[in-house]
Structure 1
Amino acid sequence: MIRSLLLFFLLLSACSKQPSPAQKSWQAFKQEFISIEGRVIDNGNKGISHSEGQGYGLLFAVYFNDQKTFATLWDWSVTHLQTRNDYLFSWQYTPNQGVTDVNNASDGDILIAWALLQAAQRWHNSSYQQAANNILRDIRNKLIKNWQGHKIIMPAEQGFITQPGKLTINLSYWVFPALQEFARVDKSPLWQKLINSGLYLFNTAEFGQWQLPADWLQLDDKITLSSERPPVFGYEAIRIPLYLSWANLLPSEKRKQFLAYAQASQNQLGYLSPKANLLNNSFAEYPANAGFISTYQLIAQKPIGLANISQNKDYYSHSLELLAFIAQQQSIAQ
């Protein structure tokens, strides 16, 4: 009898130490996309690394309480990307060449600063707090423009102004939960103004049959589709409802518009398409990847399953899937 009870408790203990599907997902992400040096590898983009990928990796590491991986990712980011004359990050690193574009990507800077603030709080690390403060200062000073009374996040410090007063923007660079965190820790009123401007743009930039935002927008006298980019809702714009859901800022009426798009795609093609032309309402005729589908599960307020995530071998798809999962967990907890 005693031996049976002992065996039972040993088995119970072993079972309790089994990693969750989410932890397995993080382990798979590390194994597949993070080098031993701490470089997040975008295998769908010729193996380059970029500030966005480093930001995602840092966010995941904080969420899964992985201090060692966070430190490795941060050290690589500082050494190889934070090489400008400010605290922003060069956006692109190419293997065997180094930095191949010193211009920043504003979403990458925002993601990294947000991850640092979370790490500083979770692990009581003041150096991470100071590093975040430095990045926030340069975001405030270098990446913000005014447009018709609204504060606008430029995609980068250089470029994206086609004519005086005509701006090209990417609304998925408004990482709403990050901006909420910045507003809590930084005294500047800018962050709430950016949240307000992002909501205004989101509620105004409605195109096509399903009234969706485009991957890229143009701000001139009014908000239009970018004249220099494809007129599509796709893998960039899908992050807009993801971040809004994360921040508990996605209105039910707008949620219905995204779900109407998904239903129309399913009815016409038999699967969820990841892209729609907002001029002629046509779908890309191939199925969305797992990350895009997970984001739609988040929008639909359905549980996001991660059981098969280890089979997700695309960097961006896997990132979207983890982002959607964490967004769902944290938005529920708020």
Structure 2
Amino acid sequence: MRYSHLLLAMPLAFGLYACGGDSPTHPHDQVPVSSDATGPGPLPASSADGGIIPPQSSAAVAPATVSLAANANIANATALYATWKARWIMTLQDEKTGGSTLNYDLFEGPRAKELLTAKMGAFHTNPARVVWDGGNKNQCALTGMSSWKGTSLTAALANKLGCTVSEGIGYGMLIAYFHGDKELFDALWAYNIIARDNNNNGLMPWELLSFSATVSTAAALDADLDVATALILASRKWQNPLYLNDAVALIASIKNKGLNPNNLLIRPGDTWANKDVYNLSYLSPAALRLFAEVDPTGGWDAILAANYAYMINIQNAGAVPLFPDWSNAAGQPADPKNGSAANTYMLFDKESVRIPWRIAWDYYWYQSAESQQILTAMANFISTATANNPASLPSTSYNYSTGALSTSQTAGEHYIGMYCLMGFGVNPTWHNACFDYFTQKVQAYQAVGYTGTYFKEILTIMYSTLMNGGFVKI
């Protein structure tokens, strides 16, 4: 590791600060990626065609269980879920009641009735979506809608809340599942089914206008991994084979269009076949393990091993044991060239904020050697950098290549939760202190408006649910 020198510079580094956006980025633009990004250099263990040679993925370190924080309480997440659901779930009937004049044939026409009946066993009359606050007047206008659940909508707000992104549906289905909310789960599933019918590859378009139209037909693979995972889990919890049938169909589409066949790495989307760039926050080890269970001949163990090997090589090569938001097959930070991360692709930032959650989830359920190794390195770094004081967490992101703090803002409860999850099960001293700090911040948080809070709040409820014991394995 090359980060011991940072501890001496920490007081100066923590003084850096700049305003930064809070919305996620999405791989929807069809722009080729150049190979001029700089980074720590090529990684070891590469095959002749540039693919990673994976080690054998371990099933588990030991049959031990992972302990929650001393003050973990599922009531924390339950209360937060009620607040999140009230703020961010909009149904088709909500929009009609609020005066929307959008055309809803996409979700109410003959094709919708046929498709939902075939997939769900019956037509769903009131699908739901997770509201995204990153839209603009040109693409996300809720035409004619003047109120929502009794709250008056300004024209500007109605123009921002009309769109939904696929990651929100994937997160939403997982959150609804882990909180036992079958009604919401099915309503979001109905939305996903119709949306996927508008992508030629059987995946979900990354952005849609309400229940009315697609804004982009290209997919973002993290959403499809999460939706398939949620469906597999739902089939076990609620004993409905229709969930599993749809999951298997979606898994086939993921394998067909979501993987690089040369190195088995997960692509950012179905339109990235000619682009040498990857997003490690899309890797969901728990998902790939579940895929292997329901599709035992699909090669998912090898896919998981390849992606974990890629991730570990990148972590070991960095100036700090973290990750860049975007990287190429050689493991170097790389600009995705889609307008989302020209200045942040080398940072542990708005994409990588999801990595500790996905790895901690894998460790919680499977205690894999890879997840333990990755979490331990991250936890040891951040606990040392802060002297085990979560109040000293930085408000800007680390530069993977240099180890210095950037000027990109990473303040917020979701970033605190990210750092807490680094110690989940592997560093109880850090995790307990950070969990208590996270809980206090979440309880004190006062949501204001609907601009720049979708991403923070949906990740905060997800992280809270995991850390408070809501991710019950079936």
Q: TM-score, normalised by structure 2?
A: 0.59
Q: Which runs of 5+ in 2 are unaligned?
A: 1-73, 93-127, 136-159, 425-430
- Superposition map of 1:1-334 within 5 A: 20-37=75-92, 38-44=128-134, 46-47=160-161, 48-95=163-210, 98-147=213-262, 150-159=263-272, 161-162=274-275, 167-206=276-315, 208-219=318-329, 222-227=330-335, 228=337, 229=342, 230-248=345-363, 249=368, 250-252=371-373, 254-261=375-382, 264=385, 270-280=392-402, 281-284=404-407, 286-301=409-424, 302=431, 304=435, 305=439, 308=443, 311=446, 314-328=453-467, 329=469
Instruction: Check 1:172–1:309 CA distance in 2 against 1; reply closer, same or farther (3 A cut).
Output: farther
Deviation at 1:235, TM superposition (A): 2.2
SS in 1 for 2:129: coil
Q: Distance in 2 between matches of 1:213 and 1:77?
A: 30
One-letter code of the match for 1:32?
A: R
Tell me, yes or no, if the aligned pair for 1:247 and 1:331 is still in contact at 8 Å.
Answer: no
SS in 1 for 2:321: coil
Deviation at 1:226, TM superposition (A): 0.4
Q: Distance in 2 between matches of 1:256 and 1:128?
A: 37
Deviation at 1:322, TM superposition (A): 2.4
Deviation at 1:218, TM superposition (A): 0.8
Q: Distance in 2 between matches of 1:75 and 1:117?
A: 16
Deviation at 1:238, TM superposition (A): 2.5
Q: Distance in 1 between matches of 2:444 and 2:199?
A: 36
Q: Cα deviation per residue 1:222-262 (whole Å; 9 max; x = unaligned)?
A: 22110444311112113222211111142256533355247
One-letter code of the match for 1:39?
A: R
Q: Distance in 2 between matches of 1:102 and 1:21?
A: 37
SS in 2 for 1:85: coil
One-letter code of the match for 1:153?
A: I
Q: Distance in 2 between matches of 1:114 and 1:309?
A: 32
One-letter code of the match for 1:161?
A: N
Q: Distance in 1 between matches of 2:230 and 2:445?
A: 24
One-letter code of the match for 1:180?
A: R
SS in 2 for 1:283: strand
Deviation at 1:79, TM superposition (A): 2.4
Tell me, yes or no, if the aligned pair for 1:83 and 1:90 is still in contact at 8 Å.
Answer: yes
Q: Cα deviation per residue 1:165-184 (whole Å; 9 max; x = unaligned)?
A: xx211111111111111111
Q: Distance in 2 between matches of 1:85 and 1:333?
A: 33
Give the stretch that moved more between structures: 109-118 or 275-284.
275-284
Higher relative contact order structure (alpha carbons within 8 Å, sequence separation ≥ 6): 2
Aligned identity (percent) is 23
Tell me, yes or no, if the aligned pair for 1:271 and 1:287 is still in contact at 8 Å.
Answer: no
Q: Which runs of 5+ in 1 are unaligned?
A: 1-18
Q: Distance in 1 between matches of 2:278 and 2:399?
A: 18
Instruction: Check 1:58–1:333 CA distance in 2 against 1; reply closer, same or farther (3 A cut).
Output: closer
How many aligned positions are there? Answer: 307
Q: Distance in 2 between matches of 1:310 and 1:81?
A: 35
Q: TM-score, normalised by structure 1?
A: 0.82
SS in 2 for 1:39: strand
Tell me, yes or no, if the aligned pair for 2:396 and 2:405 is still in contact at 8 Å.
Answer: no
Q: Distance in 1 between matches of 2:385 and 2:400?
A: 14
One-letter code of the match for 2:412?
A: N
One-letter code of the match for 1:257?
A: M
Instruction: Check 1:332–1:99 CA distance in 2 against 1; reply closer, same or farther (3 A cut).
Output: closer
Deviation at 1:288, TM superposition (A): 2.0
SS in 2 for 1:87: coil
Q: Cα deviation per residue 1:48-87 (whole Å; 9 max; x = unaligned)?
A: 3111100111111111111111111111222244322342
Q: Distance in 2 between matches of 1:82 and 1:190?
A: 26
SS in 2 for 1:84: coil
Q: Distance in 2 between matches of 1:212 and 1:146?
A: 26
Q: Cα deviation per residue 1:184-214 (whole Å; 9 max; x = unaligned)?
A: 1212342111211121011111354313211
Q: Distance in 1 between matches of 2:257 and 2:378?
A: 34
Tell me, yes or no, if the aligned pair for 1:49 and 1:93 is still in contact at 8 Å.
Answer: yes
Instruction: Check 1:128–1:211 CA distance in 2 against 1; reply closer, same or farther (3 A cut).
Output: same
Q: Distance in 2 between matches of 1:270 and 1:285?
A: 17
Tell me, yes or no, if the aligned pair for 1:210 and 1:258 is still in contact at 8 Å.
Answer: no
Deviation at 1:21, TM superposition (A): 2.3
Which structure has more strand as a fraction of its residues? Answer: 1
Give the stretch that moved more between structures: 206-215 or 26-35.
206-215
Instruction: Check 1:79–1:309 CA distance in 2 against 1; reply closer, same or farther (3 A cut).
Output: farther
Tell me, yes or no, if the aligned pair for 2:321 and 2:377 is still in contact at 8 Å.
Answer: no
Instruction: Check 1:200–1:22 CA distance in 2 against 1; reply closer, same or farther (3 A cut).
Output: same
One-letter code of the match for 1:91?
A: W
Tell me, yes or no, if the aligned pair for 1:24 and 1:310 is still in contact at 8 Å.
Answer: no
